[in-house]
Structure 1
Amino acid sequence: MDEKTSTRKSPEFCSLRYGLALIMHFSNFTMITQRVSLSIAIIAMVNSTQQPGLFNNSTERPLAFTFNHSNRTIKEFNTAEVSVYEWSPETQGIIFSSINYGIILTLIPSGYLAGIFGAKQMLGAGLLVSSLLTLFTPLTADFGVILVIVIRTVQGMAQGMAWTGQFTIWAKWAPPLERSKLTSIAGSGSIGCVCCFLWFTVIYDDPLHHPCISIREKEHIVSSLAQQSSSPRRSVPIKSMVRCLPLWAIFTGFFSHFWLCTIIITYLPTYISSVLRVNIRDSGVLSSLPFIAAASCTILGGQLADFLLSRNLLRLITVRKLFSSLGLLLPSLCAVALPFVASSYTTTIILLILIPGTSNLCDSGFIINTLDVAPRYASFLMGISRGFGLIAGIISSTATGFLISQDSVSGWRNVFFLAAAVNMFGLVFYLTFGQAEIQHWAKERTLTRL
């Protein structure tokens, strides 16, 4: 009893596991920044006279005429001998989605290999490569759109390595009652190179081999994970996974979540610029506000989820379904309302801030549900889950470019209505089949000899 009591609690924000979450936070922040920076820069990079789809084609007016009253910054930018590229909305959609192609190529193999060989080297290398390729992206634009797509695809492969291995590390570092909190801190965001230095020097694959961890914290983590102790890895039970409806509920949740999130991440600057008629400088500032809200909601959601679990106020599955419902339903309502409040600048901005903010509540729902149902294969399953999400991102990015190229007003309305419908499908499926118990095929089996 005395031994259990002494390891029940451990200092939190001065502990190594929170330091790990903080470093992961900056790493994820860096990768997200590398993904979305082109979405903002592309407003100035493209030739506006080649984009009739950004506004209602029925007006048959040049885009520059429409922007006369509020877009001086764009005019000044275009007259300052800045390179301009004739990329149509459809081409932009392919550029935006190309990074997802790269991530898909590496998600499953990187997650599987990280579970076998350890995730530290894989994550660090992925972040470093992605950071270096970001530096070369502006140079490749002058050599043609094909090279831009190739660079973005390779960058996606590097980020795919970095994304999935995180759950291998959390399976060994995160006590069950702190998983929502720690993963939400990590996921709420030349920083990339600094993070690489910290990653390779400070991070270890598991707490047992860390030279600086306190005995108290090590015992706290190990004792809390005692029921999920690791055993020699066997072959992955693919057939059991395919037949597991709780896993399909998670995959469907990822697909729905990423559909709307990808639209917001990639097309938010374009939407603000075209619908609200603001200049590039203000578009960049306004585009940052939703991400600040998303980071805040992610952290607060994780804190609240773990609070509800630690106080035994709600069961684990109830917490997962509650936050999944909030993360899919609330942004859908905001998205459906957007086309009807386009004339109101303030209301539009508020809704655009709420969409990614409320959507990130899913981080405490189905996003980390693989750690509940199959902690042994969490990294491998996270790769598959993100693969479903990235497929949704590819489809939604390409579809959005096609829809807004036809007609701006009806195009954006159809984009948001379709996203809300996909979210509702994912929510119903997850509420019906989602579980939080370790599946029978994922349980540890002890071998006995007679």
Structure 2
Amino acid sequence: MASARKLENKKWTDILTCRQILNIMVILGFMFNYMLRVNLTIAIVDMIEIQDVPFTNSSVNSTSTKPLINRMAETRFNWNTDQKNAILGSFFWGYLLTELPGGRMAEIVGARKIFGGGMLMASILTILTPAAAYLDYYVILILRAVLGFFLGATWPAIPPMAASWIPPMERSKFIANMMASSLGAAATMPVCGYLIDSYGWASVFYVTGLIGLVWSALWFVLIYDSPAQHPRINEEERYEIETKIAEGEGGNSKKPSYVPWKQIFLSMPVWAIIITHGCSVFGYFLVVNQLPTYMKDVLHFNIKENGLLSSLPYLGKYLMAIIASYIADKLRKSGKLSTTATRKIFTTFAVLPPGLLMIIQAIWGMNAALSVSVFTISLFFNGAVTAGYLSNGLDIAPNFSGTIFGLANTLSSIGGWVSTKMVAIITGTQSTFDTWKYVFYVLVATYIFGALFYLIFGSGKLQTWNNPEEHTRQNGQELQPLKTKAEIDKEKEINMA
């Protein structure tokens, strides 16, 4: 009888915890986040006939009398190299505008609205992309900038959520969920290749946009900003989360009422994160945006091979992100390494080898097998950033982790735009290996500088300005358990009876 009553009272939260659901949704969220970002990088290979001709507003090459949706799938555009790179780079015009505001807004109003809202709007704009391209070159240019505007706020929103849901010694593993973006890129490349080959390039945007819409709806149903706000969390799970956070570094339930901007901008540990993040992501964005073009122009892969082979580096990066974050949290928990030592070791491991590998790429990159291997191994190493600088903002200032991430991603967004302009300038007249090798040498210098800067100035120590003396309690009760552990245990005994 008691067992039957226990079965009746069993809730879904006893099978899958709220934190496990959060992890799953964040993993899927970043997969689909990058899906919405990189779908154009492979679709554009099939969208255009690259001709260095004078620009005209009417750049559509299609005389079909079929319905608009079918014509869009068959249309080719006479965009030259500069125009193509301007479209790829326009994403960053909007992206950099919302990085810092997005991080701060997530600290104030919560990541649920910022991350979910950004994904929802980006999904809608993705579905509208074929129509924008068909209408006019400038229309798709503006649409991609607005799409970047909404996605720009999403990444800095996650560290504040980690500060509310994840104990300090487990945060590397949670931050590794953000590297599911690489998994999303890996899945998107071959899928887009198949869709283009079977249904035309427009199908890429309809399919990926619809997936984003479904995820957004689930996010708002399942996810909340803190354990205290979650209507379906059981009290035992809430007690465990809030107690561990309160006992850990930076677990103060009192939130500052202002941002100590002066201390942040004068902090070298903050600049170590910003500079190294900018250098690392500069290389990553360049690969994400330009690898399909390099494989087509220099290595001469067709669209299906292009999608599959372009995906391999991202799979490697996600695998390393999981491995490195697990090892880092284990080392920190055991006390074998300090947080500072852990972050420096894994950052160096993640950023220096890709720089050295780009030397090989610059010399022997004409070899297709070697080139694919170099990019794959390079991003495999780079996945360790989750155990390095990417988690570091939560170490030094959890109360302002969104702001710090926003600052870092603003610089990296500028770098993303610069990378597209750089490639356009270097390879604009002739996209050959002789021109691309200069791109790779720039990556060598960028990666090595970033690794050395963090090695010198990085730190894992909690900064004093994380909890200024003057502060107000913002939702102060959120980090206090509803009941004591003894009360929860007693209630469980009664229910078991």
The answer, yes or no, to whether TM exceeds 0.5 is yes
After TM superposition, the structure 1 = structure 2 runs for residues 70-109 of structure 1, keeping only pairs within 5 Å, are 82-109=74-101
Report SS of the residue matched to 1:278.
coil
**CA–CA distance in structure 2, aligned partners of residues 32 and 157 of structure 1:** 14
CA-to-aligned-CA distance 1:93-120 (integer Å, 9 cap, x gap): 2211211121111111222122112221
Aligned pairs, number: 410
**1:225 pairs with 224, 241, 245, which one?**
245
Q: Give 1:202's aligned amino acid.
A: L
Q: Give 2:457's aligned amino acid.
A: F
Q: CA deviation at 1:197?
A: 1.7
- Percent identity, aligned pairs only, is 28
Q: CA deviation at 1:12?
A: 12
Unaligned ranges ≥5, structure 1: 1-10, 52-79
**2:159 pairs with 167, 171, 180, which one?**
167
CA-to-aligned-CA distance 1:294-315 (integer Å, 9 cap, x gap): 2222222211211222222211
**CA–CA distance in structure 1, aligned partners of residues 285 and 15 of structure 2:** 32
CA-to-aligned-CA distance 1:73-111 (integer Å, 9 cap, x gap): xxxxxxx99322222222222211211121111111222
Q: CA deviation at 1:49?
A: 4.5
Q: CA deviation at 1:213?
A: 2.4
| 1:68 corresponds to | none
**1:432 pairs with 422, 446, 456, which one?**
456
After TM superposition, the structure 1 = structure 2 runs for residues 3-82 of structure 1, keeping only pairs within 5 Å, are 14-50=16-52, 82=74
**1:151 pairs with 143, 156, 168, which one?**
143
**1:281 pairs with 273, 286, 304, which one?**
304
**CA–CA distance in structure 2, aligned partners of residues 111 and 272 of structure 1:** 35
Q: CA deviation at 1:13?
A: 9.9
Kept after mapping to 1: 8 A contact 2:179/2:317:
no
**CA–CA distance in structure 2, aligned partners of residues 156 and 432 of structure 1:** 33
Alignment RMSD, CA only? 2.2
Q: CA deviation at 1:144?
A: 2.1
**CA–CA distance in structure 1, aligned partners of residues 73 and 168 of structure 2:** 56
After TM superposition, the structure 1 = structure 2 runs for residues 238-257 of structure 1, keeping only pairs within 5 Å, are 238-257=261-280
Does residue 263 of the first structure (1) align with residue 278 of the second (2)?
no
Instruction: Say if 1:296 and 1:319 are closer, same or farther in 2 by CA, change over 3 A.
Output: same
Q: CA deviation at 1:173?
A: 0.7
**CA–CA distance in structure 1, aligned partners of residues 462 and 103 of structure 2:** 19
CA-to-aligned-CA distance 1:151-176 (integer Å, 9 cap, x gap): 01110111122222111111111111
| 2:323 corresponds to | 300
Kept after mapping to 2: 8 A contact 1:321/1:431:
yes
**CA–CA distance in structure 1, aligned partners of residues 312 and 353 of structure 2:** 18
Structure 1 consecutive aligned stretches of length 4 or more whose deviation exceeds 4 Å: 11-14
Kept after mapping to 2: 8 A contact 1:89/1:402:
no
| 1:123 corresponds to | 115
Kept after mapping to 1: 8 A contact 2:396/2:463:
yes
| 1:291 corresponds to | 314
Report SS of the residue matched to 1:188.
helix
**2:423 pairs with 400, 421, 431, which one?**
400
Kept after mapping to 2: 8 A contact 1:305/1:319:
yes
**CA–CA distance in structure 1, aligned partners of residues 219 and 411 of structure 2:** 28
Q: CA deviation at 1:191?
A: 2.5
| 2:222 corresponds to | 202
| 2:69 corresponds to | none
**CA–CA distance in structure 2, aligned partners of residues 156 and 348 of structure 1:** 30
Unaligned ranges ≥5, structure 2: 1-12, 54-71, 182-209, 473-497
Q: Give 2:356's aligned amino acid.
A: L
Instruction: Say if 1:83 and 1:291 are closer, same or farther in 2 by CA, change over 3 A.
Output: same
**CA–CA distance in structure 2, aligned partners of residues 310 and 238 of structure 1:** 31
Q: Give 1:436's aligned amino acid.
A: G
| 1:74 corresponds to | none
Instruction: Say if 1:276 and 1:12 are closer, same or farther in 2 by CA, change over 3 A.
Output: farther
**2:236 pairs with 195, 203, 216, which one?**
216
**CA–CA distance in structure 2, aligned partners of residues 262 and 343 of structure 1:** 21
Q: Give 1:35's aligned amino acid.
A: R
**CA–CA distance in structure 2, aligned partners of residues 302 and 210 of structure 1:** 27
Report SS of the residue matched to 1:200.
helix
Q: CA deviation at 1:319?
A: 1.1
| TM-score, scaled to structure 2 | 0.78
**CA–CA distance in structure 2, aligned partners of residues 167 and 283 of structure 1:** 34
| TM-score, scaled to structure 1 | 0.86
